[in-house]
């Protein structure tokens, strides 16, 4: 392990540290994140039943653990799972968003991974883009492809890949507005790497969702309308 | 039948899922790639890495005396990251379960009861 000397900086994950984002961007990202978390809390209180709780715990634990595992990508870079789409597909956008927020809070407060002032941006980029954008893209693709395993695999793969690439593009825009790096250069670099990192995201997300679909399909999120009609049967 | 065994099924699911997460966090974490990740790499290449706040708020929190990033302080290097992974995974699991219990409705229990009657 010749690289052990740089161990300290190596674990600084893909999270935005304090100092990269300007005050206006911090404000906008915090307001967006707090707004969406508040709506999520209300939705979970009114729509979710306690049978979701075990999946919330396991999903959060798995995403935290998986985010520690940086996988190498060609060109001397690495990436790790973000997990937003995974949480969205398994738990739905609302409980999924809560779980992602817990992951980033533990990382930021306990392990100094990602800035505290930048936490709103990190939750938004790496969590909520996946739990909302990823989830609704997954549902759209699944409705087009079919409700069986194939629809789940194709939908999950496309949604998780796009959520990572979108997150990197949004981060590039935030960095550019903050005056940290020019838009075009930052965008090219960020999206360039995350096009490859997204493939890793898709592989892990598809494998995990398929595993749960095969072992405990009853745990997968179905929107409340479907849930109600099932209960009425 | 399914409802009868749902508590047991959930217990199996929690144990299996948490075990997989712990295996990843404890046993796989030392083998994670040490290459800079997406944002780090871009920050290095485009020379804005130095803008990150050295004296960040997180380093003023008491957790910083226990963990320096994903390594536990005061333990042999070989177990520093696995122990950080262990604590982090269990903390995330516990907090999410607690948040779920506080926010979700208990409805299905009473429904199960009424079905059993």
pLDDT band at A100 (very low <50, low <70, confident <90, very high): very high
- Mean pLDDT (chain B) is 88
Overall average pLDDT of the B1-10 stretch = 66
Does the distance separating the beta carbons of A17 and B34 come in below 8 Å?
no
More confident residue, B117 or A100: A100
| Average of per-residue pLDDT across A123-140 | 98
The pLDDT of residue A5? 35
Task: Output the six-digit token pair for A13.
Answer: 């994950």
pLDDT higher than 80, residue B4: no
Query: What confidence tier does A31 reach under pLDDT thresholds 50, 70, 90?
Result: very high
Q: Which residue has the higher pLDDT, B105 or A152?
A: A152
CB A83 within 8 A of CB A67: yes
Q: Is the pLDDT of residue B1 over 70?
A: no
pLDDT number for residue B107: 61
> Rounded to an integer, what distance in angstroms lies between the CA atom of residue A59 and that of residue B4?
24
Give me the mean pLDDT over the A60-84 stretch.
Answer: 96
Whether B104 contacts A45, CB under 8 Å? yes
User: Can you tell me the distance from the alpha carbon of A128 to that of A147, in angstroms, rounded to the nearest whole number?
Assistant: 24
CA distance B2 to chain A (A): 10
Domain locations in chain B? 6-32+57-116
- Would you state the structure tokens that stand for residue A175, as one six-digit string? 């960095």
Strands B67-68 and B71-72 turn out to be antiparallel
Question: Taking the domains of chain A in order of start, what are their residue ranges?
Answer: 15-70+79-227
CB contact under 8 A, B89 and A219: no
> Which residues in chain B have their CB less than 8 angstroms from residue A19's CB?
51-53, 56
Is B25 in Cβ contact with A50 (below 8 Å)?
no
Whole-number Å distance between alpha carbons of A6 and A78: 14
- A13 vs B21, more confident: B21
Confidence of residue B106 (pLDDT cuts 50, 70, 90): confident
Tell me what the mean pLDDT of segment A131-145 comes to.
97
pLDDT confidence band for B6 (50 / 70 / 90): confident
Task: Determine whether the interchain pair B109/A3 forms a contact, defined as Cβ–Cβ distance below 8 Å.
Answer: no
> What is the C-alpha end-to-end distance of chain B, expressed in Å?
14
Q: Which CATH number fits domain A15-70+79-227: 3.40.367.20, 1.10.1760.20, 3.40.350.10, 3.40.50.170?
A: 1.10.1760.20
Question: CB of A43 within 8 Å of any CB in chain B?
Answer: no
Residue A146 to residues A88, A167, A206, B39: CA-CA distances in angstroms?
19, 27, 16, 36
Which of A13, A18, A55 minimises the CB distance to B52? A18
């Amino acid at each position: 392990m010749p690289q052990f000397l740089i161990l300290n900086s190596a674990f600084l994950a893909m999270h935005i540290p304090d100092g990269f984002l300007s005050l206006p961007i911090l404000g906008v990202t915090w307001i967006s994140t707090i707004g969406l978390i508040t709506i999520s809390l209300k939705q979970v209180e009114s729509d979710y039943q306690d049978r979701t709780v075990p999946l919330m715990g396991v999903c959060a634990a798995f995403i935290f653990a998986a985010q520690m595992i940086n996988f190498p990508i060609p060109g001397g870079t690495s990436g790790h799972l973000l997990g937003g789409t995974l949480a969205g597909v398994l738990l739905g956008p609302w409980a999924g968003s809560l779980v992602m927020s817990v992951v980033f809070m533990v990382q930021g407060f306990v392990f100094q991974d990602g800035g505290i002032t930048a936490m709103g941006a990190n939750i938004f980029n790496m969590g909520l883009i996946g739990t909302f954008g990823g989830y609704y893209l997954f549902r759209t693709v699944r409705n087009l492809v079919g409700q069986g395993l194939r629809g789940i695999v194709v939908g999950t793969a496309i949604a998780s890949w796009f959520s990572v690439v979108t997150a990197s593009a949004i981060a590039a825009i935030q960095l550019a507005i903050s005056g940290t790096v020019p838009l075009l250069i930052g965008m090219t670099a960020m999206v360039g790497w995350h096009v490859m990192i997204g493939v890793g995201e898709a592989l892990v997300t598809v494998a995990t969702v398929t595993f749960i679909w095969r072992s405990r399909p009853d745990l997968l999120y179905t929107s409340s309308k479907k849930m109600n009609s099932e209960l009425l049967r | 039948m399914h409802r009868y065994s749902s508590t047991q099924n959930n217990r199996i699911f929690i144990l299996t899922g948490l075990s997989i997460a712990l295996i990843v966090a404890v046993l796989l974490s030392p083998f994670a790639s040490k290459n800079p990740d997406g944002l780090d790499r871009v920050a290095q290449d485009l020379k804005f890495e130095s803008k990150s706040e050295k004296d960040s708020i997180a380093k003023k929190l008491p957790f910083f005396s226990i963990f320096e990033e994903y390594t536990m302080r005061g333990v042999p290097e070989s177990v520093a990251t696995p122990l950080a992974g262990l604590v982090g995974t269990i903390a995330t699991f516990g907090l999410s379960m607690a948040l779920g219990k506080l926010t979700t409705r208990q409805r299905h229990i009473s429904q199960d009861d009424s079905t059993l009657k």
